[in-house]
Structure 1
């Protein structure tokens, strides 16, 4: 019996060593690939990452559609009341239409991460596409505030799920060489959603009927339809399949993603090694585990940039820039045309981030991006002290600059960091906590800003930027102190550094065990 036990132990040890060797080989191969080589080698992976980004675009489009309608006179006429020669939406309903969906986004993010860990990423996304179709229908047919609110509330659940699950999916399938650019590209879905919404509203907002705002809601059917057609063919995440012990299905999924037979073997070994090591640090995959041991630090660091976005003025500029322009004396047509230019700048900034995020790193772009956008808000607030046309134009210029620099720095890197830093077993739940926290802050702003900004309330106007700039200073300091550099690191290396509690400022130069093993193997080959 003792001999048999020893033989079993030897077999397990040999198997573990083989898995470690395959994992090391796979890590070495990933680190040697350039982005161009990875793009040519794994076109199917890139395609399905783009499909996940399309689903993010659906969530962005719905979010933006609900916000820009506040700037459409016909919407304010149908759902609001007369005020000072025009129409305004009551502050209570304005807060509800903004805050209600944001609150349901929090619930959707948290709930979907649990569902995605139970039934998989693919089927969770499918359920939420069906849900969003119901919400779009209610938005389109609504003639009263309660019905419109119900549609927005239902869609909020799907918005939270789309961001949480899609980001987790992309982070799990994208090759290392493309991880920075593709996860940063996820943010372009938000800028494209805003741009498309602005273009549609610019062409329809002057109509004297309900179709002035209904067209933008009907347009969402097309985006959701493409998602519904593609979802049945989406390969399930091999990370999720292996975490559930479904190795055969994980093999098939990797083959569908374009990996060769030899690559599948080493990839499976690499994923399983990371999952096994993660299991040593993580007893389970519950939300509570995110708050234990090194997972708590990883969660905080991973979601911090999202929180900085929420505190640093992103909600105000996204939801209120058009309304601010109209209050500043611009016509409806002019305000929407300016908004289109703003969205083009945002998209240009994000596209630029694809090419620099793996050149300059996540930490510099995030920290200095937060610092510079905070400075722009200080200037915008100062210009807002004077209510003259030239100063309003200056504030608009600061908003334009803010959109560009935000989207090629922290607006892009936040999603990369969230996907990279979370441990494998808790990736979906970490993303859910990050999005839920961000949306909770957005919910607070949705209820507070109308009372600070509206002309029939505190009427702060551009001076509201001082509030966001003050918070931005604090956020920049925290990012400087605690944000590590993750560029070029495999998930196995990141696991090791967090488990060993490596300080944030040492991440860039730290030599991991995996790196030392590879270096030792290369030296032995030369000898």
Structure 2
């Protein structure tokens, strides 16, 4: 039986083992957000500041942490994520997927134990720099944990939340004993690969056919990789344009200033004296998660990239500007505090619903198919750099020991949002509803960005008006990597509208 026929006859119920394995391994993604949620809140805890900070009677908390330490704590998390994501391909290739996850779990156990035990900032920085390995969505849980722990005015205030960080790695460490290694990684050892595949597939599945297809695919990938390098991204004008669009499309996330809110939201609320900083952070993170879930429901039908991202930067820029103006006119009042919280909620909803997901999509969709892995790798690296730059510089502006701008920091991000929005308006193509082949054709034809949406493809590609059956290069987990589309063959006369 052909694999395509098997796919049609067997669904999620038959592949329950593979689904269960995916659910287990996806817990690793949860860890990254948990890290950010917890570490971001620690900087606004009196118990944490008593150990790593200093008394500051002029601040709302009576305690503060100097900007240099603050820069290290948050920026080293980003640096650790960048280094680990850059080396993840190496470890996965040479040690296997399971062993890589085990190594990551051990790293979390060790680094968290160091942070719980130490009272020296050097030990804290070392632990955080290797603390984060995998991408995640657990920030809300971390923020809620911090909200309850913040009421404790001792070292336990931060030791207890850090203890929560052990839970997911412990589950993964045990669960990994019961799942097979990736058959693709075992492909050079055919017997082991076949045994792993049989553990994954339901009874009656043609494992031999899938093994043959896997060998063919791996051989094709090896040939492609041998002929492609990072220089190839810029060798001809078409690939160069696609590379620049992909990289800038993804890195627009940093231009919104979101990492400032994600990394320092609770501390920002405390220093702005808005009241109930931890509870407000829970509200902020919760509404952000709700925005992501809502976006997942509409992205396929309504997700026009240019419209969504341009709208997102408009809302983010305006909310930052109004926040800065309100605080400049009347700082420290209850009315201003409520306005800051409300505008922050509007900001994070706009970012999560209109910018974040679509930036990742742009990074994956606009890259050339044969150069996608290299282009997306470069875009991800620069995206991490932008996030690191934001987290490293923000304390200089918001910490009372430095400039102490507080919400007036929004003036800078308003300008950044204007620049990003202008770039999207002028240069970002609209590719919603297009197959990968149609996107290739439009770039080959050097279609201007503003004409992408209504352009009629020639040859065997169908136009949007004829509603071809397509598979979008979309990922709800914000990774933006594409899959081979299914297209309809229609003869159309190519005209440019």
With the shorter chain as reference, the TM-score category is 0.7 to 0.9
Per-residue deviation, 1:154 = 1.4
Aligned to 2:108: 132
Aligned to 1:390: 335
For the Cα contact (< 8 Å) 2:303–2:432, is it kept in 1?
A: yes
State how far apart, in whole Å, the 2-side matches of 1:154 and 1:482 are.
Answer: 37
Aligned to 1:506: 452
| Residues 1:336 and 2:308 are matched in the alignment | no
For the Cα contact (< 8 Å) 2:107–2:130, is it kept in 1?
A: yes
Per-residue deviation, 1:446 = 2.6
Aligned to 1:310: 254
Q: Cα distance 1:302–1:202, how it changes in 2: closer, same or farther (>3 A)?
A: same
Aligned to 2:57: 84
Per-residue deviation, 1:309 = 1.5
Gaps of 5+ in 1: 1-21, 164-188, 523-527
What are the superposed Cα offsets for residues 36-93 of structure 1, whole Å, 9 maximum, x if unpaired? x986786666555544542121122113322210010111111111122622112111
Aligned to 1:457: 402
Q: Cα distance 1:335–1:278, how it changes in 2: closer, same or farther (>3 A)?
A: same
Q: Cα distance 1:77–1:348, how it changes in 2: closer, same or farther (>3 A)?
A: same
State how far apart, in whole Å, the 2-side matches of 1:291 and 1:506 are.
Answer: 22
Aligned to 2:287: 345
For the Cα contact (< 8 Å) 2:284–2:345, is it kept in 1?
A: yes
Aligned to 1:327: 271
Per-residue deviation, 1:345 = 0.2
Aligned to 2:308: 365
* Equivalent residue runs for 1:89-168 within 5 Å: 89-117=65-93, 121-156=97-132, 158=133, 162-163=134-135
Q: Cα distance 1:479–1:126, how it changes in 2: closer, same or farther (>3 A)?
A: farther
State how far apart, in whole Å, the 2-side matches of 1:259 and 1:512 are.
Answer: 45
What are the superposed Cα offsets for residues 276-297 of structure 1, whole Å, 9 maximum, x if unpaired? 49956x6446555555556554
For the Cα contact (< 8 Å) 2:321–2:410, is it kept in 1?
A: yes
State how far apart, in whole Å, the 2-side matches of 1:232 and 1:296 are.
Answer: 45
Residue among 52, 63, 83 paired with 2:36: 63
Q: Cα distance 1:350–1:382, how it changes in 2: closer, same or farther (>3 A)?
A: same
State how far apart, in whole Å, the 2-side matches of 1:487 and 1:274 are.
Answer: 30
What is the RMSD of the two structures over their aligned residues, measured on CA atoms? 4.1
For the Cα contact (< 8 Å) 1:420–1:491, is it kept in 2?
A: yes
State how far apart, in whole Å, the 2-side matches of 1:323 and 1:232 are.
Answer: 40
TM-score (norm: length of structure 2)? 0.77
For the Cα contact (< 8 Å) 1:306–1:414, is it kept in 2?
A: yes
What are the superposed Cα offsets for residues 279-329 of structure 1, whole Å, 9 maximum, x if unpaired? 56x644655555555655444434434421212111111122212222232
Per-residue deviation, 1:398 = 0.7
* Equivalent residue runs for 1:151-230 within 5 Å: 151-156=127-132, 158=133, 162-163=134-135, 189-190=136-137, 193-230=138-175
Q: Cα distance 1:223–1:273, how it changes in 2: closer, same or farther (>3 A)?
A: closer
State how far apart, in whole Å, the 1-side matches of 2:441 and 2:256 are.
Answer: 32
Per-residue deviation, 1:519 = 4.3
Q: Cα distance 1:252–1:483, how it changes in 2: closer, same or farther (>3 A)?
A: farther
For the Cα contact (< 8 Å) 2:35–2:139, is it kept in 1?
A: no
Per-residue deviation, 1:217 = 0.8
State how far apart, in whole Å, the 2-side matches of 1:228 and 1:73 are.
Answer: 34
* Equivalent residue runs for 1:236-251 within 5 Å: 249=193
Q: Cα distance 1:245–1:432, how it changes in 2: closer, same or farther (>3 A)?
A: farther
State how far apart, in whole Å, the 1-side matches of 2:304 and 2:186 are.
Answer: 29
SS of residue matched to 2:379? helix
Aligned to 1:378: 321
For the Cα contact (< 8 Å) 2:431–2:452, is it kept in 1?
A: no
SS of residue matched to 2:420? helix
Per-residue deviation, 1:231 = 3.8
State how far apart, in whole Å, the 2-side matches of 1:467 and 1:264 are.
Answer: 59
Q: Cα distance 1:302–1:41, how it changes in 2: closer, same or farther (>3 A)?
A: farther
For the Cα contact (< 8 Å) 1:371–1:472, is it kept in 2?
A: yes
Per-residue deviation, 1:424 = 6.7
SS of residue matched to 1:350? helix
* Segment drifting more, 299-308 vs 385-394: 299-308
Q: Taking CA–CA contacts closer than 8 Å with sequence separation of 6 or more, which of the two structures ends up with the larger relative contact order? A: 1
State how far apart, in whole Å, the 2-side matches of 1:233 and 1:67 are.
Answer: 34
Gaps of 5+ in 2: 463-485, 492-497
Aligned to 1:75: 48
For the Cα contact (< 8 Å) 1:486–1:494, is it kept in 2?
A: yes
| Residues 1:355 and 2:297 are matched in the alignment | yes
